[in-house]
Amino acid sequence: MKKGKIVSGMRPTGKMHLGHLHGALLNWKNLQEEYQCFYFIADWHALTSEYAHPDIIRESMYDIIIDWISIGLDPEVSTFFIQSEIKEHAELYLLFSMITPLSWLERNPTYKEQLRELSQKDIYTYGFLGYPVLQAADILMYKANGVPVGEDQAPHVELTREIARRFNHLYGEVFPVPDVLLTPTSKLLGIDRRKMSKSYGNAIFLTDTDKEIDAKVGEMITDPQRARKTDPGDPDICNLFSYHEIYTDDETIENIRSGCRSAQIGCVECKRMMASTLKTGLEPIRAKRKDLEADIDRVKEIMEEGNRKSRTIARKTMEEVRDAVKI
């Protein structure tokens, strides 16, 4: 018997990279055992920032779904769907918008931060302010008990909890109040030691070729104090070493640790080893991706099946909601 339901989504705004893999997807994969999981493509959410160039949404959607399956999210176990295919989300979003005080949205720290960070995009829109209200509809539609998200998304889930409470208070108990299931932040930084992100140009993508991986690993910043091979290094402050900790076997890791400290091993060699274990580690994911790319109809069927299942639940929830609101 599973512990409860969880819902989580991803905005299709580009290809998946190692930051997504270690920061979210592997956690989603593990949760499949314990929970009934709903994982979805948040294409309407993507539109809040990409409305002027929506092509990226269509383009990246299937790439992302293929990545999900390739890393081990199992459509036989979890339900996948596409947000815009379940129109009920729009209706619930509208009803929630009636009961959500503006002040809750305006004080949201993620909102304020995004306005600052995405200053090159015009996101002073009604839709962008209402982003967490739509997110609440996504979550509460399936009566989720938990929402696995990174720290940046925790305020949104907090708002979902408040909206659920307010709805229940006004109209009667319809929604469980879901818990935040905080995903530990990934230790893997981008090749320039900043947070891995497509927009920083520092990401290693799940779809990168061997050549691309070699080139990116070659560029990686290591221990910045270690200028020459004869200088001893410190693996604990080396960005590359944290990749070894994930992809390389324990014995080799120990050799690298001592070899680096005693200047027996140079960064060039260390990079070569890391690129090699990284490629080996990604190989099963790539093999699965290749199979799926050759059978894209199967992937579409998976999504249609998931959309159908989700829609059935959404319709049922909306019946309860309309009864409660008496409209």
Which residues in this chain contact ligand TRP in the complex, by CB under 6 A?
7-11, 42, 45, 135, 138-139, 147, 149, 153, 156
Residue nearest to ligand TRP (CB): 9
DSSP calls for 116-145:
HHTTTS---SHHHHTHHHHHHHHHHHTT-S
Number of Cβ within a 10 Å radius of residue 284: 12
Instruction: Look at residues 198, 207, 212, 213 and name the one whose alpha carbon lies nearest to residue 62.
Output: 207
Instruction: Choose between 156 and 216: whose C-beta lies nearer to ligand TRP.
Output: 156
Binding segment (CB under 6 A) for ligand SF4, from list 56-64, 125-133, 192-200, 236-244: 236-244
- Residue 136 as a binder of ligand SF4 (CB under 6 A): the answer is no
Which of 59-67, 121-129, 188-196, 233-241 is the region at the interface with ligand SF4 (rule: CB under 6 A)? 233-241
Q: Residue 186: which of ligand TRP, ligand SF4, none does it interact with, CB under 5 to 8 A by kind?
A: none
DSSP, residue by residue, 213-237: HHHHHHH----TT--STTS---GGG
Beta carbon nearer to ligand SF4, 256 or 275: 256
Other CB atoms closer than 10 Å to residue 126's CB: what's the count?
A: 8
Residue 5, strand partner residues = 36
Nearest approach, Cβ of 235 to ligand SF4 (angstroms)?
Answer: 4
61 binds, options ligand TRP, ligand SF4, none, Cβ within 5 to 8 A by partner type: none
Q: Is 107 helix (H, G, I), strand (E, B) or coil?
A: coil
Read off φ and ψ for residue 123, nearest 5 degrees.
Answer: -115, 25
Give how far Cα 32 sits from Cα of 29, 144, 290, Å.
5, 14, 24
Nearer CB in complex with ligand SF4: 235/306 = 235
Residue 8: which of ligand TRP, ligand SF4, none does it interact with, CB under 5 to 8 A by kind? ligand TRP
188 binds ligand SF4 (CB under 6 A): no
DSSP three-state, residue 239: helix
Instruction: State which residue, 101 or 224, has the beta carbon closest to ligand SF4.
Output: 224
**Can you give the binding site for ligand SF4, defined by CB under 6 A?**
222-223, 226, 233, 235, 238, 240-241, 256, 260, 265, 267, 270
